[in-house]
Amino acid sequence: MQSAVVNNTLGNVTKKAFNGTLYYDDGKFSARGMLSYRGRYHEGASGTGNILEGYGATTNFDASVRYKLTEWMEVSVEGNNLLDTYRYRFTDFDADRNYENNHFGRTILFGARFKM
């Protein structure tokens, strides 16, 4: 039986991650945009005998806009995963073999709030 020594980051920890948010609010109109990046990372030892399983890098963009029509009524639209990012999963860190591709798609939500 062969064994291997692997030097890598801690499980579920990425070497690079960035987040940024821009926000505007004037009391009647508000807008928010958030961009996040997470580099490739592994989950730890593989249960399949491969050397480390994990996920590829992802970039996500979410945004929302709200508008106050009156003092008691507000409308909004929110979008999640607007870049339509897929989640790539790999097995064997060095060989980078595709394990699965997950597609969650974009989500757009429309809403209204009323105060009584």
Confidence of residue 2 (pLDDT cuts 50, 70, 90): low
Number of domains making up the chain: 1
**Is there a contact between 74 and 58 (Cβ–Cβ < 8 Å)?**
no
9 is a domain residue? no
- At 33-92, the pLDDT tens digits run 999 999 998 887 766 677 788 899 999 999 999 999 999 999 999 999 999 999 998 887
pLDDT of residue 39: 94
In a domain, 106, yes or no: yes
Q: Does 37 map to a domain?
A: yes
Q: Name residue, tokens 């690079």.
A: 16
Domain extent for 97: 17-114
- In the structure encoding, which two tokens stand for residue 56, read together? 């590829």
Q: What is the pLDDT of residues 3-19, one digit of tens each?
A: 666 677 777 888 899 99
Q: What is the pLDDT of residue 3?
A: 66
Query: What is residue 66's predicted lDDT score, i.e. its pLDDT?
Result: 98
Q: Are 35 and 19 in contact (CB under 8 A)?
A: yes
| Confidence at 1, pLDDT banded by 50, 70, 90 | low
With respect to residue 47, please indicate whether it lies within any of the assigned structural domains. yes
Q: Is the overall model pTM greater than 0.85, yes or no?
A: no
Of 77, 53, 80, 82, the closest CA to residue 67 belongs to 77
Residue 81 lies in a domain: yes
